[in-house]
Structures are given as structure tokens and as C-alpha cells.
Amino acid sequence: MSRTTLSKIEAGEPGVSMAHYASVMYVLGFIDELAAIGSAERDPTGTTLETEHLPERVRAAGQGRKA
């Protein structure tokens, strides 16, 4: 990794690839946190927004197939 890329990571520039961020996290000993970054448990707002977009029930309860 070049010094320029590392400087971009330190500055928070958005054009740096996730592979570079993962490399830095590995070197600093934070690689276990990488999996937690995208976990739904750590994003209650995202979970709420996703739940709002779930399809609504079409049939009323109890009106399924008749046997």
C-alpha cells in the first residue's frame, strides 16, 4: 500500500477501496470488528427502515387454502 493511499484513509477520503481499509484494520488488530461493521444488530435505524419496506400481508389471517 502506498503512503498516498494511507494518507487518504487517514483523511477519510471516500475513494479508497475496502480492501485497503481491511489491510489497515488487520495491521492495527481490529480485523474482528470488520464483520461487525455491517451487522444488522449494530444498525437499528437500518433495520427499522428495512422493516418498513417489507410487503404487507395480502390475505387475512385464517383465509389460507382449504383442504
Give a yes or no: residue 15 inside a domain. yes
For the chain, the domain total comes to: 1
Give a yes or no: residue 57 inside a domain. no
Q: What is the pLDDT of residue 28?
A: 92
Give a yes or no: residue 43 inside a domain. yes
Q: What is the tens place of the pLDDT at every residue in 15-61? A: 999 999 999 999 999 888 887 877 878 888 888 888 888 787 777 66
Query: How far is CA 36 from each of CA 22, 45, 55, rounded to the nearest angstrom?
Result: 13, 16, 27
Give a yes or no: residue 63 inside a domain. no
Give a yes or no: residue 17 inside a domain. yes
What domain range is 37 assigned to?
3-51
Give a yes or no: residue 58 inside a domain. no
Contacts of 20 (CB under 8 A, 6+ apart): 1, 5, 9
In total, the chain counts a number of residues equal to 67
The C-alpha torsion from 44 through 45 and 48 to 52, rounded to 10°, is -160
